[in-house]
Structure 1
Protein backbone atom coordinates (compact mmCIF):
# COMPACT_ATOMS: atom_id res chain seq x y z
CA UNK A 1 0.00 0.00 0.00
CA UNK A 2 2.89 2.38 0.75
CA UNK A 3 4.18 2.14 -2.83
CA UNK A 4 0.68 2.79 -4.22
CA UNK A 5 0.29 5.72 -1.83
CA UNK A 6 3.64 7.20 -2.87
CA UNK A 7 2.77 6.75 -6.55
CA UNK A 8 -0.59 8.50 -6.07
CA UNK A 9 1.13 11.34 -4.22
CA UNK A 10 3.78 11.74 -6.94
CA UNK A 11 1.09 11.73 -9.63
CA UNK A 12 -0.84 14.40 -7.75
CA UNK A 13 2.23 16.65 -7.67
CA UNK A 14 3.48 15.85 -11.20
CA UNK A 15 0.07 16.45 -12.78
CA UNK A 16 0.04 19.98 -11.36
CA UNK A 17 -2.83 19.33 -8.99
CA UNK A 18 -0.92 20.96 -6.13
CA UNK A 19 -1.10 24.34 -7.87
CA UNK A 20 -4.77 23.95 -8.82
CA UNK A 21 -6.28 22.04 -5.88
CA UNK A 22 -3.91 22.72 -3.00
CA UNK A 23 -2.36 20.21 -0.67
CA UNK A 24 -3.66 16.69 -1.19
CA UNK A 25 -5.91 15.36 1.52
CA UNK A 26 -5.90 11.85 2.88
CA UNK A 27 -9.44 11.55 1.51
CA UNK A 28 -8.37 12.43 -2.04
CA UNK A 29 -5.52 9.93 -2.02
CA UNK A 30 -7.67 7.24 -0.40
CA UNK A 31 -10.29 7.73 -3.10
CA UNK A 32 -7.66 7.17 -5.80
CA UNK A 33 -6.61 3.97 -4.04
CA UNK A 34 -10.23 2.81 -3.58
CA UNK A 35 -10.05 2.64 0.22
CA UNK A 36 -11.47 4.74 3.02
CA UNK A 37 -9.30 7.50 4.48
CA UNK A 38 -9.36 5.85 7.90
CA UNK A 39 -8.32 2.46 6.49
CA UNK A 40 -5.53 4.07 4.45
CA UNK A 41 -4.15 5.97 7.42
CA UNK A 42 -4.38 2.93 9.71
CA UNK A 43 -2.69 0.69 7.15
CA UNK A 44 0.12 3.17 6.52
CA UNK A 45 0.59 3.63 10.26
CA UNK A 46 0.96 -0.14 10.57
CA UNK A 47 3.42 -0.39 7.66
CA UNK A 48 5.51 2.72 8.34
CA UNK A 49 4.74 3.95 11.84
CA UNK A 50 3.48 7.20 10.31
CA UNK A 51 0.00 8.41 9.41
CA UNK A 52 -0.98 9.31 5.86
CA UNK A 53 -0.80 13.03 6.70
CA UNK A 54 2.68 12.65 8.18
CA UNK A 55 3.79 10.90 4.97
CA UNK A 56 2.30 13.71 2.87
CA UNK A 57 4.27 16.23 4.93
CA UNK A 58 7.49 14.20 4.60
CA UNK A 59 7.02 14.09 0.84
CA UNK A 60 6.43 17.85 0.65
CA UNK A 61 9.46 18.63 2.80
CA UNK A 62 11.55 16.41 0.54
CA UNK A 63 10.33 18.48 -2.43
CA UNK A 64 11.14 21.65 -0.48
CA UNK A 65 14.68 20.44 0.18
CA UNK A 66 15.22 19.90 -3.53
CA UNK A 67 13.88 23.37 -4.31
CA UNK A 68 16.07 24.94 -1.62
CA UNK A 69 19.15 23.22 -3.07
CA UNK A 70 18.43 24.79 -6.46
CA UNK A 71 18.69 28.22 -4.83
CA UNK A 72 16.42 29.75 -7.47
CA UNK A 73 13.57 30.77 -5.17
CA UNK A 74 13.21 32.32 -1.74
CA UNK A 75 11.61 30.53 1.20
CA UNK A 76 8.28 32.33 0.73
CA UNK A 77 8.07 31.37 -2.95
CA UNK A 78 8.82 27.72 -2.13
CA UNK A 79 6.24 27.60 0.66
CA UNK A 80 3.57 29.01 -1.67
CA UNK A 81 4.65 26.74 -4.53
CA UNK A 82 4.08 23.77 -2.23
CA UNK A 83 0.74 25.32 -1.25
CA UNK A 84 1.37 25.95 2.42
CA UNK A 85 -1.07 28.46 3.91
CA UNK A 86 1.75 30.64 5.15
CA UNK A 87 5.52 30.70 5.45
CA UNK A 88 5.38 30.38 9.25
CA UNK A 89 3.62 26.99 9.05
CA UNK A 90 6.00 25.82 6.32
CA UNK A 91 9.02 26.84 8.42
CA UNK A 92 7.61 25.15 11.52
CA UNK A 93 6.94 21.89 9.66
CA UNK A 94 10.32 22.03 7.91
CA UNK A 95 12.11 22.47 11.23
CA UNK A 96 10.10 19.65 12.81
CA UNK A 97 11.09 17.30 9.96
CA UNK A 98 14.72 18.33 9.49
CA UNK A 99 15.81 19.93 12.75
CA UNK A 100 16.66 23.22 11.02
CA UNK A 101 14.89 26.18 9.49
CA UNK A 102 14.63 26.36 5.69
CA UNK A 103 17.11 29.27 5.53
CA UNK A 104 19.63 27.29 7.59
CA UNK A 105 19.21 24.35 5.21
CA UNK A 106 19.58 26.62 2.19
CA UNK A 107 22.75 28.22 3.61
CA UNK A 108 24.16 24.80 4.49
CA UNK A 109 23.54 23.69 0.90
CA UNK A 110 25.56 26.67 -0.35
CA UNK A 111 28.69 25.31 1.32
Structure 2
Protein backbone atom coordinates (compact mmCIF):
# COMPACT_ATOMS: atom_id res chain seq x y z
CA UNK A 1 0.00 0.00 0.00
CA UNK A 2 2.69 2.50 1.01
CA UNK A 3 4.75 1.85 -2.11
CA UNK A 4 1.74 2.43 -4.35
CA UNK A 5 0.86 5.63 -2.52
CA UNK A 6 4.43 6.92 -2.81
CA UNK A 7 4.48 6.17 -6.53
CA UNK A 8 1.13 7.92 -7.03
CA UNK A 9 2.16 11.00 -5.06
CA UNK A 10 5.79 11.35 -6.16
CA UNK A 11 6.18 9.28 -9.31
CA UNK A 12 8.99 7.35 -7.61
CA UNK A 13 8.96 3.94 -5.95
CA UNK A 14 9.82 3.37 -2.30
CA UNK A 15 13.06 1.73 -3.43
CA UNK A 16 13.99 4.84 -5.42
CA UNK A 17 13.35 7.02 -2.36
CA UNK A 18 15.51 4.76 -0.18
CA UNK A 19 18.32 4.68 -2.72
CA UNK A 20 18.16 8.45 -3.09
CA UNK A 21 18.43 8.87 0.67
CA UNK A 22 21.39 6.46 0.83
CA UNK A 23 23.20 8.20 -2.02
CA UNK A 24 22.79 11.63 -0.39
CA UNK A 25 24.12 10.29 2.91
CA UNK A 26 26.99 8.63 1.05
CA UNK A 27 27.89 11.85 -0.75
CA UNK A 28 28.03 13.71 2.55
CA UNK A 29 30.13 10.99 4.15
CA UNK A 30 32.51 10.83 1.19
CA UNK A 31 33.40 14.48 1.71
CA UNK A 32 35.11 13.43 4.96
CA UNK A 33 38.40 11.77 3.97
CA UNK A 34 38.92 10.23 7.41
CA UNK A 35 36.54 7.35 6.58
CA UNK A 36 37.26 4.76 3.91
CA UNK A 37 34.70 3.86 1.28
CA UNK A 38 34.33 0.47 2.97
CA UNK A 39 33.62 2.08 6.34
CA UNK A 40 30.98 4.29 4.75
CA UNK A 41 29.39 1.28 3.05
CA UNK A 42 29.15 -0.63 6.33
CA UNK A 43 27.79 2.44 8.14
CA UNK A 44 25.04 2.74 5.53
CA UNK A 45 24.05 -0.90 6.10
CA UNK A 46 25.72 -2.65 3.20
CA UNK A 47 27.15 -6.11 3.93
CA UNK A 48 29.62 -5.81 1.07
CA UNK A 49 31.35 -2.58 -0.01
CA UNK A 50 31.23 -3.77 -3.62
CA UNK A 51 27.43 -3.62 -3.55
CA UNK A 52 27.59 -0.07 -2.24
CA UNK A 53 30.05 0.96 -4.96
CA UNK A 54 27.92 -0.64 -7.66
CA UNK A 55 24.76 1.15 -6.47
CA UNK A 56 26.59 4.46 -6.07
CA UNK A 57 28.00 4.25 -9.60
CA UNK A 58 24.64 3.27 -11.10
CA UNK A 59 22.94 6.28 -9.48
CA UNK A 60 25.67 8.93 -9.90
CA UNK A 61 27.66 7.80 -12.93
CA UNK A 62 30.90 7.65 -10.96
CA UNK A 63 32.47 5.43 -8.35
CA UNK A 64 32.65 6.59 -4.72
CA UNK A 65 36.41 7.12 -5.13
CA UNK A 66 35.88 9.21 -8.26
CA UNK A 67 33.24 11.28 -6.45
CA UNK A 68 35.59 11.81 -3.53
CA UNK A 69 38.48 12.90 -5.75
CA UNK A 70 36.29 15.43 -7.58
CA UNK A 71 34.90 17.01 -4.41
Q: What TM-score range do you get, normalising by the shorter chain?
A: over 0.9
Which structure's CA Rg is the greater one? 1
TM-score normalised by L of structure 1: 0.61
2:23 is aligned with 1:69? no
* CA offsets 1:59-85 (integer angstroms, 9 cap, x no match): 011000000012220100000011112
> Unaligned 5+ residue runs, structure 2?
none
RMSD: 0.9
Distance 1:92 1:71 in 2: 20
- Structure 1 segments of 4 or more deviating over 6 A? none
What count of residue pairs does the alignment treat as equivalent?
71
TM-score normalised by L of structure 2: 0.92
